[in-house]
Amino acid sequence: MNPLYFYPLLLVYALLLSLLYINSHLKRGTENRLLAEQRRYQRHLFKISKELSFIKEQGKLVLFVGDTVYQLMRVSWLLIYTVDSDGDVYRLARQLGKEARVKKIDLSFDAAAAEECAVLLPMNRSNRLIGFFMLGPKQDGSVFSDDDMSVLKIIADQTAVALENALYWEKEKQRIIRQEAVARAKSLDIMTGSLAHEIQNPLTGAMGNLEVLREMVNKYEMTQDDREVVEESFKYTLEPLHRVSKMVQVLNNYSKGYSVADFKVFNALDAVNDFKVLVQSKLKHADVQLTYEVDDDLPQVMGVPVWLQEALMNFVSNALHALRKTKDKRIVIRVLRHQRCVRLECEDNGQGIPADMLKEIFHPFVTTKSTSEGTGLGLSIVRRHIEAMGGDVWAESYGVGHGATFVVLLK
């Protein structure tokens, strides 16, 4: 064979071989990349499944899933919304990447916000939307592949299950805490009630006998000086006994039995509306302007509605006393939404409270009133009831002469 023919053939052959090699190399490279991507997804999915079964807190859950999806999908931004405990509002629970355009959206959220996101991923449980992801475009500008979408769907489904569990655990935890608080409050009340009963009986007898004795002694002839001494002795013996008797009465009234069954989910506004009716008679002869400020989208709270009314009644009674020397007497009651809580305020422009007394006044028997006016028990009972409902109560004041505000926060 002429070697002149042989060399071009060899060249073509070599070219063909190298093309085949390059092709298979490229194919393998692409396959490897796809495999690596798939393995990365598998690793993450495995990690997510494992972690989600352990995390029981909604906050931690959203934190973990948010970070994982953000890194896994390499998106420019990510938002996670979860439904609040009332089930009516979706709140931003996690935000990564660029500043969110929207902070709070309800079910009919504005289309512009959704328009900006590349993927809107719902989290459904038993036909209920319990949250959703909003993902921005990918950082490198590439589109979401079918694999991406399948992985996202799996993550959304698993998160929905975990989220539902977390919500359940949260409610269960609250229920147990309340149950324990009621049990504690109840046993304390039974003890207080029986103690009050034990004190009241002999006390009433002793006071009655002393009055009889007073009348009899007064019939005897004696010097004016002696009469004054006798009268003072009776006065200073009977006065503290009356005071003790009044305290025992208050304790007895508040130790009326209640049970877990009295705890219910209620709207604080209903309790306040009932209170409005009750307080009217109290304010009949007081020259006070009582106003209300109310938010209309209040979350439901758990507790005993009557306790809330009693708390407000205590605040108003105290405010009326503190307003005695004020000319333009004003009380404002506010019922506000504070994140997921209800915030109740009772503000007056009365004499105010010194800073070092703000905590003290919630202790039992702390009073600045005279024997006949106060027992010092009102606020301590309010605190016990509010805490049994899982809430907080405190007083705020800019000092003497600047009025006071009592705040109740119910979760």
Ligand X SMILES: Nc1ncnc2c1ncn2[C@@H]1O[C@H](COP(=O)(O)OP(=O)(O)O)[C@@H](O)[C@H]1O
Q: Given the rule CB under 5 A, which residues bind Mg ion?
A: 318, 378
Q: Which of 51, 28, 107, 113 is nearest to 77 (CA)?
A: 113
Residue span binding ligand X (CB under 6 A) among the ranges 64-72, 117-125, 187-195, 315-323: 315-323
Sequence-ordered list of residues with C-beta below 8 angstroms from that of 376, at least 6 positions apart, any chain: 363, 364, 365, 366, 367, 369
Residue nearest to ligand X (CB): 378
Instruction: Between 66 and 378, name the residue whose CB sits nearer to Mg ion.
Output: 378
Given candidates 301, 404, 409, 410, which one binds ligand X under the rule CB under 6 A? 404
Given candidates 52, 152, 379, 407, which one binds ligand X under the rule CB under 6 A? 379
Tokens of 10: 């060899």
One-letter amino acid for residue 117 of the chain:
C
Q: Given the DSSP bridges, would you call strands 90-97 and 264-266 parallel, antiparallel or unpaired?
A: unpaired
What is the nearest approach in angstroms of Mg ion to the Cβ of residue 361?
9
Phi/psi at 390 (5° precision): 80, 15
Instruction: Between 119 and 311, name the residue whose CB sits nearer to ligand X.
Output: 311
Contact partner, 353, from Mg ion, ligand X, none, Cβ < 5-8 Å per class: ligand X
334 secondary structure, DSSP code = E
313 binding ligand X? (CB under 6 A) = no
Residues 84 and 396: their CA atoms lie apart, in Å, by 30
Helices 146-219 and 224-254, packing angle to 10 deg: 150
369 binding ligand X? (CB under 6 A) = yes
The secondary structure of 195-233 as a DSSP string is HHHHHHHHHHHHHHHHHHHHHHHHHS---HHHHHHHHHH
What is the nearest approach in angstroms of ligand X to the Cβ of residue 357?
7
Given candidates 136, 303, 374, 390, which one binds ligand X under the rule CB under 6 A? 374
Given candidates 58, 159, 349, 351, which one binds ligand X under the rule CB under 6 A? 351
Find out whether 410 and 342 touch, Cβ atoms under 8 Å: yes
Residue span binding ligand X (CB under 6 A) among the ranges 28-36, 40-48, 51-59, 365-373: 365-373
350 binding ligand X? (CB under 6 A) = yes
82 binding ligand X? (CB under 6 A) = no
CB atoms within 10 A of CB 275: 21
Tokens of 287: 């020259």
Find out whether 251 and 196 touch, Cβ atoms under 8 Å: yes
Tell me the helices (H) and strands (E) count for the chain, helix number first.
8, 12
Residue span binding ligand X (CB under 6 A) among the ranges 14-22, 165-173, 280-288, 366-374: 366-374
Find out whether 166 and 61 touch, Cβ atoms under 8 Å: yes
What is the nearest approach in angstroms of ligand X to the Cβ of residue 91?
35
Given candidates 163, 348, 349, 409, which one binds ligand X under the rule CB under 6 A? 348
Instruction: Between 123 and 377, name the residue whose CB sits nearer to Mg ion.
Output: 377
Instruction: Between 27 and 369, name the residue whose CB sits nearer to ligand X.
Output: 369
Instruction: Between 234 and 394, name the residue whose CB sits nearer to Mg ion.
Output: 394
What is the nearest approach in angstroms of ligand X to the Cβ of residue 365?
8
Instruction: Between 27 and 369, name the residue whose CB sits nearer to Mg ion.
Output: 369
CB atoms within 10 A of CB 286: 15
Residues 133 and 308: their CA atoms lie apart, in Å, by 38
What is the nearest approach in angstroms of ligand X to the Cβ of residue 363?
8
Tokens of 323: 């307003």
Sequence-ordered list of residues with C-beta below 8 angstroms from that of 118, at least 6 positions apart, any chain: 75, 135, 136, 137, 138, 144
Instruction: Between 94 and 329, name the residue whose CB sits nearer to ligand X.
Output: 329
Given candidates 237, 273, 326, 367, which one binds ligand X under the rule CB under 6 A? 367
Given candidates 48, 247, 301, 361, which one binds ligand X under the rule CB under 6 A? 361
H/E element, 85: none
Given candidates 97, 137, 193, 376, which one binds ligand X under the rule CB under 6 A? 376
Positions touching ligand X (CB under 6 A) are 314, 318-319, 322, 348, 350-353, 361, 366-369, 374-380, 404
